Structure 1
Amino acid sequence: MSAPERGPEEPQYEPPPSVGKLLIWVLVFMVAALAVVLGGVYFT
């Protein structure tokens, strides 16, 4: 049971904190956009 090859020296992939924060902002933006769309559909 060997791990799939990723690179010369990359045993584990750990994204930097900035990537995680960016992902959170993207999720927040998507939820807000979805709320706006659903709100527009609901109120029309």
Structure 2
Amino acid sequence: MTAHEPAHDGTAPDTGPAAPDTGVPVTQATADDQPRYEPPPSVGKLFFWVLLFVLAAVVVVAGGVYFT
């Protein structure tokens, strides 16, 4: 009996425990079996994060100057 044949009594063979359902869909590989990645962020979004980081650095420096 192989794994694809039903048991003689008509029940399916026990293939072991099932994989847990993580809720994350399985992604399909592309035609050449290369994994797919997210596209890079747009220039505007990248500029926003850089600006936010610079603003946070300015706030930290200004706070350090003010409280000393």
Verify same fold: TM over 0.5: yes
Larger Rg: 2
What does residue 57 of structure 2 align with? Answer: 31
What root-mean-square deviation, in Å, do the aligned CA atoms of Structure 1 and Structure 2 show? 2.4
Q: Percent identity?
A: 6
Superposition TM-score, scaled by structure 1 size: 0.64
Residue 36 of structure 1 deviates from its aligned partner by 0.8
- Which structure carries more relative contact order (alpha carbon 8 Å, separation 6+)? 2
Gap runs ≥5 in structure 1? none
Runs of 4+ in structure 1 over 4 Å off: none
